[in-house]
A and B are shown apart, each in its own frame.
Chain A
């Protein structure tokens, strides 16, 4: 199984809502990543977990809160988001070099 799955595919939320994005991989990869991608722009790295520990936080606002409950699962908890946070959120995993990306969650903040 070389797939990274992300749920939900689409999410619409208000600025006062709390929601979570979920990412799963069963390839035994040690590293998992969250990226944010705005339209017609490259993905921007947000967070990296290595062996279930947060290793990189690219100065992401605290309204985004990552969590890695186990080696297969990565969550991104969202709270009090702004309309400019609307984007495609991509998850990826890797063992050493090649990253496997999920299809992304399209987030709209109203």
Chain B
């Protein structure tokens, strides 16, 4: 199975952009890259997903490397409410889901 690696923790100042990296060097051609975040005592919350092209939505942007071996989640202006554990996930075409270890994001006021 493909796996993902992420930094254990990152810090950001409030209202500044945050770039959260993820490596997935063994990704297969049909695996989608997903990002979720999880606050304490809550279930994970969907952030964004993509296959090959960069993606934008109201929450974030996802930049996917041309070889698909890495991706970066971009939060354009971090707020205190963005402090959470961010998971980079691979999802196969047959519903298998592989969570990465997660990056704990701290936002400094």
Contacts and interface: CB of A to CB of B under 8 A. Distances in A.
21 contacts: A33-B95, A33-B97, A42-B87, A42-B100, A45-B96, A55-B95, A56-B94, A90-B44, A92-B43, A92-B44, A97-B49, A97-B91, A98-B49, A99-B34, A99-B36, A99-B46, A99-B97, A100-B46, A101-B44, A103-B41, A104-B43
Interface of B: 32, 34, 36, 41-46, 49, 87, 91, 94-102
Nearest to B96: A56
> How many interface residues does chain A have, given as a range?
20 to 34
Where chain A touches its partner, the secondary structure class is: strand
B45 A101 contact: yes
Contact of B99 (A4, A42, A98, A104): A42
B100 to A, nearest CB: 7
